[in-house]
Amino acid sequence: MAGDGSDQRALQYEQTLMYGRYTQELGVYAKEEAARLRESGQRRSVSDRSRTLDLLEYDKGRCAKCRICTVRCQKFLISRVGEDWIFLILLGLLMALVSWVVDFCIAICLQAQKWMYGGLDSNVFLQYLAWVTYPVVLITFSAGFTQILAPQAVGSGIPEMKTILRGVVLKEYLTFKTFVAKVIGLTCALGSGMPLGKEGPFVHIASLCAALLSKFMSLFGGIYENESRNIEMLAAACAVGVGCCFAAPIGGVLFSIEVTSTFFAVRNYWRGFFAATFSAFIFRVLAVWNRDEETITALFKTRFRLDFPFDLQELPAFAVIGIASGFGGALFVYLNRLIVQFIRKQKAINRFLMKKRLLYPALVTLLVSTLTFPPGFGQFMAGKLTQKESLVTLLDNRTWAKQGIAEEFDYIGHSQAWKHPQVNVFVTLVLFIVMKFWMSALATTIPVPCGAFMPVFVIGAAFGRLVGESMAAWFPDGIHTDGTIYPIVPGGYAVVGAAALSGAVTHTVSTAVIVFELTGQISHILPVMIAVILANAVAQSLQPSLYDSIIRIKKLPYLPELGWGHHEKYNIRVEDIMVRDVRYITLNCCYRDLHNVLLTGHLKTLALVESAESMILLGSIERAQLQSLLSQQLGRPRRLEYIRERAVAEKKRMSVLSNPGSDDGSQRVSQEVRFQISTEESTFSPVRPVAPKPLKPALKRPSVVERPTEIPTSPQDNSGIALKNLFCASPETEGLEDDGDVEDDMTIREISEWEEMQLDEQVNFNNCKIDPAPFQLVERTSLHKTHTIFSLLGLDHAYVTSIGRLIGVVSLKELRKAIEGSVTVKGVKVRPPLASFRDSGTSSSENEATELHKLWDRHKSMSLPREHTPSESDEKSQ
Amino acid sequence: MAGDGSDQRALQYEQTLMYGRYTQELGVYAKEEAARLRESGQRRSVSDRSRTLDLLEYDKGRCAKCRICTVRCQKFLISRVGEDWIFLILLGLLMALVSWVVDFCIAICLQAQKWMYGGLDSNVFLQYLAWVTYPVVLITFSAGFTQILAPQAVGSGIPEMKTILRGVVLKEYLTFKTFVAKVIGLTCALGSGMPLGKEGPFVHIASLCAALLSKFMSLFGGIYENESRNIEMLAAACAVGVGCCFAAPIGGVLFSIEVTSTFFAVRNYWRGFFAATFSAFIFRVLAVWNRDEETITALFKTRFRLDFPFDLQELPAFAVIGIASGFGGALFVYLNRLIVQFIRKQKAINRFLMKKRLLYPALVTLLVSTLTFPPGFGQFMAGKLTQKESLVTLLDNRTWAKQGIAEEFDYIGHSQAWKHPQVNVFVTLVLFIVMKFWMSALATTIPVPCGAFMPVFVIGAAFGRLVGESMAAWFPDGIHTDGTIYPIVPGGYAVVGAAALSGAVTHTVSTAVIVFELTGQISHILPVMIAVILANAVAQSLQPSLYDSIIRIKKLPYLPELGWGHHEKYNIRVEDIMVRDVRYITLNCCYRDLHNVLLTGHLKTLALVESAESMILLGSIERAQLQSLLSQQLGRPRRLEYIRERAVAEKKRMSVLSNPGSDDGSQRVSQEVRFQISTEESTFSPVRPVAPKPLKPALKRPSVVERPTEIPTSPQDNSGIALKNLFCASPETEGLEDDGDVEDDMTIREISEWEEMQLDEQVNFNNCKIDPAPFQLVERTSLHKTHTIFSLLGLDHAYVTSIGRLIGVVSLKELRKAIEGSVTVKGVKVRPPLASFRDSGTSSSENEATELHKLWDRHKSMSLPREHTPSESDEKSQ
């Protein structure tokens, strides 16, 4: 089933080339799937428990005490295993190992490329071939591998995690296949030396780990089946992902909170810290054990002087870095989206790439690696250096441009790559920044598992370095005037730039903390904070964050944030945005209404009201429940039972009316009885053949019917005509197996008549699961509050009631529209249509005295726009 | 009014000596007050708006455009002023100034003491007198000053802020008086040199600043009146408080989140960072401008080596520090609570201290300063050093105990205080830790504005130093075995110890970040994180945090946290903890029911149901609304109107029956009419004299009656007998002013009869404000989810419904009981009585199919325990 779905999706090249397009149905389907799994899991645990009880019962005669003791011990052990901290330690350990192994493999891949390149230094053409072919092969392999195994592994994964933590179940994102595809794909992609990052995918990998570990642990205990706990664990896993990627536990926790959560429960805080610290610790200990490091230190250790890190008068320069980074970050997000949209829109390119789906990654890789070829253009932009090496050199605490004459400086180690005999170090830096900027924006659109954080971080560092070197050239003896000479430290500027640009792209301030943890120095805290905040202020007012941008491109079901202090949010009310035309069913409705409602709408849940007149909201029912109610009413078992009963009644009548003993005439007489009954019921509405409608694909899936509910019906039983209209699934498999004792001798026409009869019966909701307290809002709830409640509780819809009466519904879609309508991408604020109307009105508090008299005479017919549903939708469906 | 209340409270010495005791009523009252203010504020803004409109209307004839333009400009300016960032910058600036001035004054105070002590070195006795008298005077002044001006300023303020951010309005905590008292009291208290902290009070001061600034800014714009915005700003202010106190913006934000919030909106994150960064920046810039520092650096800068901060094999020692700090932190909290409870319980001491309320602070100060007297016992515990100096020396990067012989080391500067000719440095450190430990626990119970963070921080640093020095003595050449000698850095241990102990006492992990920002070095990140997490794990399983402990002592209305991964929380359901005996009113109830409900209960809101049979929840009504309904029904204007109408009717009847024109007979005849009516209505329940009950003090306040509702009644109008029973307020002021045209000639008996008549009328809810969607839960909602929802939305009660029918209510109290019942202070877990019952039952999912048939025949009488309320409470009240 899932394989089928993923194969289907795998066929759509566009999805996987660029960020795939996911319709609402997909998420809904995934959620239903998850609900089904959860339900069956619950049932399993219940049966497990009863089995244990049976066991106790059985052994009572023999050594009951001993058995009970064993069971208790087992339970104790299980409860220990169920403790959060054991889970978190395992998760941390696992992720540290994964991170280290991935890093190790990447390092080997990069070394291999360097070795090939170095070995072929006799022939430039061969050198070029080796330099270019190697990444092309790796990237193509990575793209193909993820494409085949799990297309969900493509991209960063943070947008998806954001959506999942919002409460939307994207189940296919947390499978073992995705894990394998992501890890291997990421290793190959980063091993190619392309400007790609590790952070985003690691957030996804950690979440995958947590989900799989949770599934594994649930073999031992029951606690792992709790959904809210799983969400908590996923949130911790995101922190672990960043933490073990950068060995930055604090920054990891904060970054993951900022990037994935809307609201954060402080009581989950320790989980993230605990797991991320443990993970970062193990990650660094592995490096020590591998003799890479002498002891546990920062990943990109800097050695700036501590006594005088910067002068007060340098702060304007830092502020400039911040503001420029803000613009740069917004530009990056814009460029990235532009590339995706350009390739999507160009029909010709698209069609061509559709056919050869690995061509796009190969072409992009070829372009990028050609430009970085060290003997070619690469010499002007330190193309020889890997991402890690560039960063190390950029954070160097020595000044490259002493007194403006770059040549005098003796470059040691990798720093030499920045030196070019003909070209100034400033030119190199500028070229590096410009080239890497568009390269990174382009490379992150390749359909391989990759993030954009690290490339952006390096570009930011280079930009900071550029400013720092300029400052150092401008003030060779530092700015400080009090006698002591404190030369300017360009490395500090690089740190500030890195934090600012990555903060601007991701819309986070915690990049500041990550920078401190990465460099192991916190001396530049104030400049970094100032620059990051300024960069955020600029970037947030221009563009959404990179992750939000991807969410929009992918059309993931996510609620956008309210922007920076948009006051008008307090003025929009739910009544301005709600949908007044609610689909509902009444307590005394008949199956026909149910049928019609199911046919016309495609909402996941339906409101249950007392009656169409009172509209008092009693609860909400899941669509699937209604479907099973309907299939139970119209299903084959019930029809067979009807035939059986009819036969018995006929027999009785026969025995009373004529000579008793003629059992064989039942078949002939039954038709009379049927007609008799159908004429009895002919006072009902005339039979209306229901026209088949184009239904939503989610409905077409047999799984909807297969869903295990309390009613034991198999899909083959749903062979009724009305149901066929509803489900459109395998109509030819009708009535192949009989009960044996009763023959299904009804003709199609008879069945249709019987069904019409059944449809007119009143629905019996007794066995139906009803959510008795669906979330309710009031008309005057502000948009701000609605947004808060939706994001806090992970709702996807809420009913709007007025003193218990249902008057509307608000779903994520309306909310999203309302928010995006007032805050467009360009930062121009458009007021919602109704808010201004209200403002100019006399006063709002007068209306707040709720008009209860409406309720007083609620048995009169109401002038609500919701009266027509049963009749109108009937007509529509014809 | 507020002054009256605070004076009343000021009389109770116990409150202010130890943490005051606040009953639920106080909070409720405060909330009502706030609601009243909010309401009037809304009305004002509405009238403002209409005034603007009037202005526009008026000027239309003349230069309308010009006027409109002006108004628009004004509006634009106001909206700019209303921007968050301007507010935050102002707040940051203000707090930085306050922090700097306070620090400056404290430094002067401490210098003065040193100067006095130094100047009198000829005579030890005089020296002692000076050493002791100075702090006693300062502390006594501080205690007296806060006592007189604003007793709310006593203590840390974090517990109160936690409660306020939870949604409970403790209005008297955010007044200008409290601000002045807190700032001056804190300066004096810290100037005395007692082991007291600055952080907690600064959180409070920043919140005060924010509240006052918000009030001030609301003169310009309307946005400042929004409550949810104020909460957001208060949250940011807490971050500013910590940020400007330690110049630690990141740590400040995190600490304030951990300490004050349960759930945190990530969209508010930037506010905290922005304001705290700006504040910390200004705070440090002021130091540079004052020539204290050369440039912006950390407050307690350390200079540990960067290349090899610690060896992997030192980690067990760090873990030991963490675990020991955990126990120490729990002990500190326990000790602190013990002292408070001991002094409270001892009647004799209490009575004595009641009389001389400044004696307790004086005695404690005397004791502490005597023990720290440098020539006396102080010489063995570095008594000469101020808190700041101790911390600086403890974080020193040199080793004090080289090769176990402390004497060989040349102590420079303040470090000399730790050296004693006869006594080992280890003994000094142990004495310092032990003495300061109980001294700090004792000193923080003094009724002055003070925190416990800094003292605990110093003790932790000393403990870490002790372990570090021991390690250095044990491994003189370091543990590292690979040739290079890396000696152990005891200062690093001090950093770890400080973070761990303060983390254990406050139950936060962000002390780690604070430590990095305070020292300006992040090299020890992993040891610090490990120690802090271990300390938290130990301390959280033993004791509540210091702030939660104070909340319990003060009985503030706060919801405790769910502990670390207590799984049983998922098993308790709302039905186990809810109160089934809900007070409700029905849609068709009469005023008598209203009266009875108001008399018997003291809940803030009452449920409104459709009828006692259906129990369908329609909404909730505030108590005050009902009171005003009742007072409207029984009030004097209505009675006068009744008399007038009666007179008119009598006149008419007269004109019909007998000779027209005898106007003066109205008084005599009126009685007949009255009797006539009362016999007409005699089919109603017999008149019951309502006995006066001891009412809650909140009800006694005239403010409850004065509350401005839509109904224009002045308190003097509520002179009815039934109302008097309800309000018990000034019964002698009856009927002093008449309307003039009608005489109130009814006797007491007549009035009582008239009122009985009125009480039997059906309530008209038309003008009543009803909350049409009070928060609803279902019986099967888990405790975990309930807790989440309560803390997320800041609820204080929620109704439990089953398919629209009200079956119970859960308030904060029940929730608190349920949580504290299952997790006792000692860490022993007691399962709630009903949870085990359910577990042993067969299956829970079977019951989940909600029994809708109950609703089907809901017009039959229900077997709910909620049928008796109107009648029973009637009887109770008699």
The pLDDT tens digits for B638-692 are 778 778 887 888 777 777 665 544 444 444 444 433 333 333 333 333 333 333 3
CA distance B831 to chain A (A): 15
Of A249, A767, A842, the CB nearest to B849: A767
A463 against A19, higher pLDDT = A463
Kindly report each contact of residues A426-429 with a partner whose C-beta sits within 8 Å and lies 24 or more positions away, as own/partner: A426/A401, A426/A466, A426/A469, A426/A470, A427/A380, A428/A380, A428/A381, A428/A382, A429/A462, A429/A465, A429/A466, A429/A469
Q: What is the pLDDT of residues A325-380, one digit of tens each?
A: 999 999 999 999 999 888 888 777 777 766 677 888 888 999 998 988 888 888 88
Of A270, A619, A802, the CB nearest to B509: A270
CB contact under 8 A, B530 and A770: no
In A481-510, the residues whose Cβ lies within 8 Å of chain B are 482, 509
Q: What are phi and psi of B92, to 5 degrees?
A: -60, -45
Contacts of B48 (CB under 8 A, 6+ apart): B222
Whether the predicted pLDDT of A519 surpasses 70: yes
CA distance B11 to chain A (A): 38
From residue A427, alpha-carbon distances to A430, A465, A500, B78, B615 in Å are 5, 12, 22, 47, 79
CB contact under 8 A, A306 and B845: no
Residues of A in contact with B520 (CB under 8 A): 306, 522-523, 525
The strands making up A805-811's β-sheet, listed across from edge to edge, are A776-777, A797-802, A805-811
Of B529, B565, B765, the CB nearest to A249: B529
Q: What is the pLDDT of residue A567?
A: 52
Estimate the crossing angle of helix A158-165 against helix A227-246, to 10 degrees: 150
Q: Beta strand pairing status for B776-777 and B797-802?
A: parallel
DSSP states along B569-590: GGT-BHHHH-BS---EEETT-B
Euclidean distance between CA atoms B439 and B446, whole angstroms: 11
In B507-536, the residues whose Cβ lies within 8 Å of chain A are 509, 512-513, 516-517, 520-523, 525-526, 529-530, 533, 536
Q: Are B398 and B305 contacting, i.e. CB atoms less than 8 angstroms apart?
A: no
Interface test with A, best of B295, B807, B846 (most A CBs within 10 A): B295
Q: How confident is the model at residue B605 (pLDDT cuts 50, 70, 90)?
A: confident
Q: What is the pLDDT of residues B819-835, one digit of tens each?
A: 766 443 333 333 333 33
| A479 → chain B, closest CA residue | B295
Of A269, A307, A767, the CB nearest to B258: A269
A618 in contact with B at a CB cutoff of 8 Å?
yes
Whether the predicted pLDDT of B789 surpasses 70: yes
Euclidean distance between CA atoms A499 and A514, whole angstroms: 8
Residues of A in contact with B41 (CB under 8 A): none
CB contact under 8 A, B804 and A281: no
A529 against B218, higher pLDDT = A529
Euclidean distance between CA atoms A144 and A46, whole angstroms: 43
Of B267, B776, B844, the CB nearest to A561: B267
CB contact under 8 A, A308 and B295: yes
CA distance A301 to chain B (A): 9
Whether the predicted pLDDT of B329 surpasses 50: yes
Single-letter residue type at B36: R
| B481 → chain A, closest CA residue | A294
In A262-321, the residues whose Cβ lies within 8 Å of chain B are 262-267, 269-270, 273-274, 277, 280-281, 284-285, 288, 294-298, 301, 303, 306-312
* Mean pLDDT, range B444-459, rounded to an integer: 90
CA distance A247 to chain B (A): 9
Of A306, A769, A773, the CB nearest to B801: A773
Residues of B in contact with A313 (CB under 8 A): none
| A38 → chain B, closest CA residue | B845
CA distance B801 to chain A (A): 7
The interface predicted TM-score of the complex, written ipTM, equals 0.70
Any idea what DSSP says for residue A292?
A: S
Q: What is the pLDDT of residue B77?
A: 66
CA distance B158 to chain A (A): 16
What is residue B521's three-state secondary structure? strand
Q: What is the pLDDT of residues A34-51, one digit of tens each?
A: 555 555 545 544 444 444
H or E element at residue B499: helix B490-506
Residues of B in contact with A788 (CB under 8 A): 228, 265
B546 against A769, higher pLDDT = B546
In B577-616, the residues whose Cβ lies within 8 Å of chain A are 587, 610, 616
Residues of B in contact with A84 (CB under 8 A): 564-565
* Mean pLDDT, range A492-521, rounded to an integer: 91
A854 in contact with B at a CB cutoff of 8 Å?
no
CB contact under 8 A, A567 and B79: yes
Q: What is the pLDDT of residue A265?
A: 75
A802 in contact with B at a CB cutoff of 8 Å?
yes
Of A523, A842, A849, the CB nearest to B769: A849
Residues of A in contact with B273 (CB under 8 A): 509, 529, 533
Q: How confident is the model at residue B345 (pLDDT cuts 50, 70, 90)?
A: confident
* Mean pLDDT, range A519-541, rounded to an integer: 90
CB contact under 8 A, A772 and B855: no
Q: Are A155 and A450 contacting, i.e. CB atoms less than 8 angstroms apart?
A: yes
pTM recorded for the entire structure:
0.72
What is residue A124's three-state secondary structure? helix
Q: What is the pLDDT of residue A832?
A: 34
Q: Structure tokens of B688?
A: 């019951």
A792 in contact with B at a CB cutoff of 8 Å?
yes
Euclidean distance between CA atoms A79 and A211, whole angstroms: 19
In A211-230, the residues whose Cβ lies within 8 Å of chain B are 223, 226, 228-229
Any idea what DSSP says for residue B460?
A: H
Euclidean distance between CA atoms A89 and A93, whole angstroms: 6
Q: What is the pLDDT of residue A541?
A: 87
- Which residues on neighbouring strands pair with residue B78, listed in sequence order? none
Residues of B in contact with A622 (CB under 8 A): none
A167 against B332, higher pLDDT = B332
Interface test with A, best of B803, B810, B829 (most A CBs within 10 A): B803
Q: Are B461 and B494 contacting, i.e. CB atoms less than 8 angstroms apart?
A: yes
Q: Around Cβ B670, how many Cβ atoms within 10 Å?
A: 18
CB contact under 8 A, B618 and A803: yes
H or E element at residue A586: strand A584-586
Q: What is the pLDDT of residue B81?
A: 59
Residues of A in contact with B282 (CB under 8 A): none
Whether the predicted pLDDT of A400 surpasses 90: no
Q: What is the pLDDT of residues A261-313, one digit of tens each?
A: 777 777 777 888 888 989 988 888 888 888 777 777 777 888 787 777 788 88
Euclidean distance between CA atoms B43 and A844, whole angstroms: 10
Q: What is the pLDDT of residue A803?
A: 66
In B73-92, the residues whose Cβ lies within 8 Å of chain A are 79, 82-85
Whether the predicted pLDDT of B205 surpasses 90: yes
